[in-house]
Amino acid sequence: MTANKKVLLCGGGNAIHVLTAYIGSLPDCDVLVFSSFPGEADRFREALPEEGITCTNDLGDDMIGKPVKVSDKAEEIVPGADVIILAIPSFAHELYLRLLAPYVKPGVVIGAMPAEGGFDLCARHVLGADFVDQSNIFALETLPWACRIVEYGKTAEVLGTKVEIDFVMTEGPGNNAECMSLLQRLIGRLPELKPACNFLAVTLMNINSVWHPTISYAFYRNWDGKTPFDEPPLFYYGADEYTGEKLAKVSDEVLAIRTAIQEKYPDLDLSSLHHVRDWMLRSYGDDIGDKTNIHTMLITNKGYRGLTHPMMKVETPEGTKYTPNFGYRYFSEDIPMGLCVTKGIAELAGVPTPNMDDVIVWCQEQMGKEYVIEGKFVGKDITSTRSPQTYGFTDLHSFLEANRYI
């Protein structure tokens, strides 16, 4: 009799609730949940009903599943895991990989959803190149669904399931097709996992790192920096024509990086890297009312309706107002683990990125960080990013070769 697959979920947020219900409902899988956040494992375990977590789904695929173990101690929950999924903020990836490292076995299937940029660089740095080459490291470009916790440890809800998303996996000892098939079972029948070329393509195609910082930069470009808003402004539906044009220009620069690399390495496949315009059409299709340009697609996409800028409440003599939350993941993740990774690769490839620089410079000012100075990626905080420079790469060839892109 074949033993059940041991699937270790790292984290305790929205996606972990959904995955626990999904995977826990599979008869051939045992779910384990590991959270290092103080008190979270106890809270999760104590809240669990006897039957497990119930997850309602927009597709009608409601699931109930229960973990066999929940712990904050890596030594008692990591050994023997066959699959490890990090569904946590990208800034916590390195912390969790370091906690896993002493107990994880070579040959494991391990990855992140979503990965943001440079996840494979981080994994090689923490786990070691030999370990990575003996294992199957994977990444999903984004979460499979828009989801939320309804009641902690008890119920979750999938509000919207994507149709398809990009997936990438290193060439490890396991059969990649079998590994992808397994991961497809773990996340549900949709979205369909579509193989991307390689980790480099996924890093450069990181839609969040283009989307969120650029839209924020464009929206606040004329704000005085102090006047609060009467209500949270619409994020996508509040975009203007300038926003669409800036998104197009930043995406043009990402494609220029692709072109520069492929001119030097014509056998390197980066075909899964697309312009944001094409990504929108592929991801949302008929949900978009007006496909004329990026601006019109943003403000007529049903999937974006009602979504607002991340804000903080402030009390004023006129009542409750709202100010921007520049500590939100649109900044704390999408800059150091996203756009800065792309900028670092652009530096190695010798590609100027003036529009990307505009966005990074504005964002770093809001964050109190320094990454780009006069168009150069030389700021004092670049070591806190997942850029190639953080891991010691100073030339394009060494970067591509050491990370098995060529």
Q: Note if 212 is an active site residue.
A: yes
Residue 323, both tokens = 């100010």
Helix (H, G, I), strand (E, B) or coil at 329: helix
Residue 72, both tokens = 């904050």
Among the listed residues 17, 212, 274, 295, the single catalytic one is: 212
Q: Is 376 exposed, middle or buried (0-12, 13-18, 19+ CB in 10 A)?
A: exposed
Alpha helices in 88-175 (DSSP H): 93-100, 119-127, 129-133
Identify the CA nearest to 298 among candidates 234, 348, 347, 344: 234
Residue 171, both tokens = 């060439």
Helix (H, G, I), strand (E, B) or coil at 145: strand
Q: d(Cα 101, Cα 79) in Å, to the nearest integer? A: 10
Number of H helices, E strands in the chain: 16, 14
Q: d(Cα 241, Cα 224) in Å, to the nearest integer? A: 20
Q: d(Cα 58, Cα 145) in Å, to the nearest integer? A: 10
199 close to 120: Cβ distance less than 8 angstroms: yes
Q: How many residues does the chain have?
A: 406
Q: Is 380 exposed, middle or buried (0-12, 13-18, 19+ CB in 10 A)?
A: exposed
Output b/e per residue, 284-296; b: 16+ Cβ within 10 A.
beebbeebeebbb
Identify the CA nearest to 257 among candidates 396, 139, 69, 368: 396
Residue 144, both tokens = 């499979």
Q: d(Cα 36, Cα 210) in Å, to the nearest integer? A: 30
DSSP letter at 369 equals -
Which positions are catalytic?
212
